Structure 1
Amino acid sequence: MPYPWIDAYCLSKKGVVKDYKEEWEATRYQVGGKMFAMQGGDKEGNPIFTLKLPPDFGRFLRQQYPDIVPGYYMNKEHWNSLFLQGAVPDDLVREMIDKAYETVLRSLPKRVQRDIEEG
């Protein structure tokens, strides 16, 4: 599968916790108890990676890449799904992960942000 580095890259970020949600059949990546990314599949079993992104950035990506679509089973304004069998460049996927992580980290209370960044 393309992007074999996704798991390690997400886990390399400060304060990230990974778990598996059985009901969703998906691996979730969280910071401060809030999810920023999820790896699972669509109803046909196609592997997808879903990330929380700033709305303008997500819309821009969806216009540029047919393999990036509104979040599968998620809020379409903030969440975007990437078909993992697609052809989105690795550098852009890393940028998407970085933005998703930062988006969620910056939404946390300042004290929690500080604890994570110093942790």
Structure 2
Amino acid sequence: MDQSTFLSYCMDKPGAEQSLRQEWQANQVKVGEVMFAMTHEMDGKPVISLKSSPEMAASLRAEYRSIVPCGLLNKNHWNTLFLDGDIPDSQIYYLADASWQLAVETLPDTLRQELNI
């Protein structure tokens, strides 16, 4: 998977909006004002960062060599995934869906209704 394919997948989610975070040289994807995904580079390699529960974050790091704590965000909740690593695309899609769902759950009911989610 590449970052472009990943961003396209994220942008197909209801309410998704993309913005550039200049100081990190990162594309952020948010629903409402809550970020659920980010693409950037780490050690010169393309990566994505996704949010999860602390338990899932730790489990994923133990399972995949190419998943590490996110250096830019809360390391308990955010993982960085190297796209040239050992993670199947299906797992990346699943993790993106789960991250989006976590973000949606924090939105006020009125915004979720407005976004029809």
Same topology, TM > 0.5? yes
Secondary structure of the residue that 2:62 maps to in structure 1? helix
CA distance, structure 2, for counterparts of residue 117 and residue 65 of structure 1: 35
The separation in 1 between residues aligned to 2:116 and 2:57, in whole angstroms, is 26
Gaps of 5+ in 1: none
- State the Cα deviation string for residues 8-29 of structure 1 (Å, max 9, x = none): 1000000000011121101100
Hey, what does 1:31 align to over in structure 2?
31
Q: Which residue of 2 aligns with 1:16?
A: 16
Aligned sequence identity (%) = 33
Over aligned residues, Cα RMSD in angstroms?
Answer: 1.3
Number of residues of Structure 1 aligned to a counterpart in Structure 2:
116
Question: Equivalents in 2 of 1:99, 1:21: separation in Å?
Answer: 22
Q: Give the TM-score, by structure 1 length.
A: 0.91
The reply on whether 1:95 has 2:88 as its aligned counterpart is no
Q: Deviations over 1:61-114 (max 9, x none)?
A: 111101011112211111010011112001100000000000011011111122
**TM-score of the two chains, using structure 2 as the length reference:** 0.92
Structure 2 residues without counterparts, runs of 5 or longer: none
Partner AA of 2:34 in structure 1 = K
Match of 2:70 in 1: 71
Amino acid at match of 2:45: N
Runs of 4+ in 1 over 6 A off after TM superposition: none
Asked if the contact 1:37/1:49 (under 8 Å) is kept, the reply is: yes
